[in-house]
Amino acid sequence: MRTWLSAICSAVFAASLVGTTVPALAQGKPKFPSKPVRLVIGFSPGSATDLSGRMVAQKLESLWGQPVVIENRSGAGGQLAAVMVAKSTPDGYTLLMISSAMVVNSVLPVKPMYDILKEFTGVAQIGVPTSVVLVNPGLGVKSLKELIALAQSRPGKILFGTSGAGSGTHMTTEIFNMNAGIKTVHVAFKGLPEVMIEVAAGRLNYGIISMGASMPFIQEKRVTPLAVVAVKRSPLLPDVPTVTEILPSFERDASHGIIAPAGTPKDVLNIISRDVARALEFPDVKERMDAMGFERVHMGPEEYTKLLRRLHASLTKTVVAVGLRAP
C-alpha cells in the first residue's frame, strides 16, 4: 500500500516539476532589446552618416521602447570606432553605423586596424546617399560627356577635390575617372564643404559632392550639375542624368548601414534589421531623407554582408589601381 502511494506521490511531484519547467522553457531568451542599445558612429555630428543614423535611431527607440544612445567617436577616419565595436560583446547592444569609408579603411593600409569581413557581420543597409558631379561654370562644359572629352584632351591638367586621400569621395571619384578613361589631378581637403567652396570659386575644376551639401550652390548657379551618382534620376534634379546613363560600367561604392561584431546571434540581427526597415517607412523619415537626396534601400543581414564583401573586393582593386597601396 505504501509502495503504491509512494509511486502516486512521485508522479504528482514530477508532473508539478514539468508544469513549472515548460513555461520557463517557452519563455526562452529575454525579448530583444531589454536594455539600452548603443549606436556608435565613427564620424562627427552633422556628417551624412551621422544624420542618417540618427533618423533611424530615433524611430528604433519608439519601436523598442528602449533608448538608442548615439555615440560619435571620430578619429582615424572612423577606425577608432570600428576597433572599439569589434571588441564589444556580440549581443546586439553595441552596433556600428558605417559608410563605405569603413570598407576603404579596411583595405587601404598595409596593416589595417580591423578586418571588416572577419570581425563584423552585416545587420542592415539603410540606404545610399546621392552625390552630384559638379563643375565650375567657368570651365565651359555643360554635360558629363563634355567634361570627359575636355579631361581626355588635357591629361594631368584638370583638378578635382575630395575630403582626403582614401576617403569615400576620393574612391568614388577615382572609380569615375577610371571608367571615363581620364587622368586628372587629385587635391585633398579636410572635408566636402571646403571642396564645395573651391569648385564654386573656380580653383577646382570638378568634384563629386553629396546632394545635401551641393543643392544650395546649384540653386544659386554657383556650380553646374552634370550627373548624379544614383540608381535613377533625382526628383530634385530631374533634368540631370545619372552617371550610369553616360558610363554604364560605373558602379557606386556608397552605402550607409549598420554592422555588428561577428558572432552576434542571427535572431537578434533579424530583429534589428526588421525594425530598421520599419523605421525607414515612417513618413517624416522619408521626407527628411528625400530632402537630402538619400535613397532608402534596405538590405537584411545576409544580403548586406554580401554587399560589404563585394565592396571590399572592388575597393581593393581601386586603391591598388590608383597607387594608394601596393598590389
How far is CA 57 from each of CA 37, 131, 202, 260, rounded to the nearest angstrom? 10, 23, 39, 15
Q: Helices (DSSP H) in 202-300: which residue ranges?
A: 211-219, 243-246, 266-279, 283-291
Q: Which of 118-127, 184-193, 292-301 has the highest mean pLDDT?
A: 118-127
What is the distance of C-alpha 116 from the center of its chain?
13
Which one, of 131, 153, 129, lies nearest residue 141 by Cα?
Answer: 153
Return the ∠ at Cα 34 (arms to 32 and 40), rounded to 5°: 80
**Is the Cβ–Cβ distance between 106 and 321 less than 8 Å?**
no
Distance CA 312, CA 171 (A): 12
**What is residue 42's DSSP assignment?**
S
Q: What is the pLDDT of residue 71?
A: 96
What pTM was estimated for this model as a whole?
0.77
Q: Mean of the pLDDT values across residues 73-90?
A: 88
Cα atoms in the 13 Å half-sphere on the side-chain side of 48: 30
Is residue 14 over pLDDT 80? no
**What is residue 167's DSSP assignment?**
S
Which one, of 48, 114, 42, 113, lies nearest residue 74 by Cα?
Answer: 42
Q: Which of 21-30, 91-100, 168-177 has the highest mean pLDDT?
A: 91-100
Q: What is the pLDDT of residue 29?
A: 63
Least confident of 14-18, 198-202, 221-225, 279-283: 14-18
| Class of residue 81 by CB neighbours under 10 A (exposed 0-12, middle 13-18, buried 19+) | buried
Is residue 97 over pLDDT 70? yes
Least confident of 166-170, 186-190, 268-272: 166-170
Is residue 13 over pLDDT 50? no
Is residue 3 over pLDDT 60? no
Residue type, 140: G
Q: What is the pLDDT of residue 22?
A: 43
Is residue 12 over pLDDT 80? no
**Is the Cβ–Cβ distance between 49 and 81 less than 8 Å?**
no
Residues 277-320: tens digit of each pLDDT: 999 999 999 999 988 888 899 999 999 999 999 999 988 888 88
Q: What is the pLDDT of residue 300?
A: 97
Mean predicted lDDT score pLDDT of the chain: 88
Q: What is the pLDDT of residue 212?
A: 78
Q: What is the pLDDT of residue 163?
A: 80
H or E element, residue 123: strand 120-129
Distance CA 12, CA 50 (A): 60
Q: What is the pLDDT of residue 28?
A: 56
Q: What is the pLDDT of residue 295?
A: 87
pLDDT tier, 93 (very low <50, low <70, confident <90, very high otherwise): very high
Is residue 130 over pLDDT 50? yes
Residue type, 268: V
Residue type, 64: W
Distance CA 317, CA 325 (A): 10
